[in-house]
Amino acid sequence: MLSLNQKTLKETIKIKGVGLHSGENANLVIKPADVHSGINFCRVDINPNKLIKANFKNVIEPILCTKIQNDTGITVSTVEHLMAAFFGEGIDNAIVEIDAPEIPILDGSASEFVEAIRSVGIKEQTEIRKFIKVLKKVEVVDGKKYISIEPAEDLIVDFEIIYSNPLIRTRRKEFRLSEGNLSEIYNSRTFCLYEDIDYIKSQGLAKGGSLDNAIVVKGREILNEDGLRNRHEFVYHKILDCLGDLMLSGNRIIGHIKTSQGGHALTNKLLIKFFSDKSNWLLESKQSLNKDKKTSNSIKKTISASI
C-alpha cells in the first residue's frame, strides 16, 4: 500500500445497487484518472461536467454517512465505503460517475468495491505519491466523544466503541497500515440497533436498508440469519468508515489516530482543525518519510491544491 508511485485503475468498473438512505437505484462507473487528479465524483444525472472533489472541506451533513458537495450545490452521499476501498487498494486517482444521489450500499461493507478494483487491476503511474506526516498532536472533544491525531511512523487507528447494548458493549481495536491486512475490515458491515430504526426512518434515512446490507441488533440477538462475519465486526466497520473519511484528506496520513465513540462528523471536525494550521503537518514523499528525522524539516514540499 505504501508504494512509491501514484496508482489508478487499469480499466473501467461498473457497479449497480441501491442507496442505503435514499432507497434509489444507482449505476456507478469508476474510471481511471490522470496523476495528481485525486478522487472525483460526478453526478451524470445532473451535470456531467461538474465534479465533486473527494475532500474533507466539501463534507456536509455527516449524519450516519459522509456526504460531499461541490460549489454549485451538487451532492453525493455515502462515499465512505468506496473511499475506504480506494484507501486500502492504493488508488490515488479515479473518476466516479453516478446517476443517483447516493453510492450503492451493496452488502454494507467495502468488500464488493475491493473485489471490483482487483478484478480490473491497478495501474502504477509515473508520478511520486505524497504522504501527510503528522507533526503535532491535535484533538477534538465533543462531550463524551473524543478523537485525536499525533505523530507516528505508521498510520495507526485506535478505535473504541461504547454501547449500552449487551451484545455490542464496549469494544476497542487497533489498525496499523504497515501490517497491511485489511480483509476483515473490508468485510465488516454497517450496523444499527433495532430500536433506532423507526427514528432513523423518521429522519428520511435508511429507505434502502435491509438485512441484506446492514447488521441489525435487537437486545442480545443479531437478526441477520448468518450472524457476524467476524467477532470484531462492529468496531472494524467503524475503522472502515474512519479510513474512508481519512482518505478525504487528499493524501494518505502517517500518524496515530485515537478515538472513542467517533464517527463521520467527529473525523471531519478533526481534519478541519488539523489542516487549519500548517505547522501541524508536512506533505512528503515516501523517500523523505524514510529519511532521518533530523533532516525531515529540510524536505517540506509545496502544498498541493487538493488540500
18-37 pLDDT tens trace = 999 999 999 999 999 999 99
Q: Does residue 149 have a pLDDT over 60?
A: yes
**Three-state SS letters, the chain:** CCCCEEEEECCCEEEEEEECCCCCEEEEEEEECCCCCCEEEEECCCCCCCEEECCHHHEECCCCCCEEECCCCCEEECCHHHHHHHHHHCCCCEEEEECCCECECCCCCCHHHHHHHHHHCEEEEEEECEEEEECCCEEEEECCEEEEEECCCCCEEEEEEECCCCCCCEEEEEEEHHHCCCHHHHCCCCEEEHHHHHHHHHCCCCCCCCCCCCEEEECCEECCCCCCCCCCHHHHHHHHHHHHHHHHHCCEEECEEEEECCCHHHHHHHHHHHHCCHHHEEEEEHHHHCCCHHHHHHHCCCCCCCC
CB-CB neighbours of 143 under 10 Å? 6
Helix axes 80-89, 233-246, angle to 10 degrees: 80
4 pLDDT band (50/70/90 cuts)? confident
Percent pLDDT > 70 in the chain is 92
Q: Which residues are catalytic?
A: 264
Residues 164-179, mean pLDDT to the nearest whole number: 95
Task: Indicate the pLDDT class of residue 304, thresholds 50, 70 and 90.
Answer: very low
pTM attached to this predicted model: 0.92
- Domains annotated for the chain, with CATH where assigned, are 5-128 (3.30.230.20), 131-291 (3.30.1700.10)
Residue type, 230: N
- What's the burial of 29, exposed, middle or buried (CB within 10 Å: 0-12/13-18/19+)? middle
Per residue in 244-299, pLDDT (tens digit) is: 999 999 999 999 999 999 999 999 999 999 999 999 999 998 655 555 443 333 32
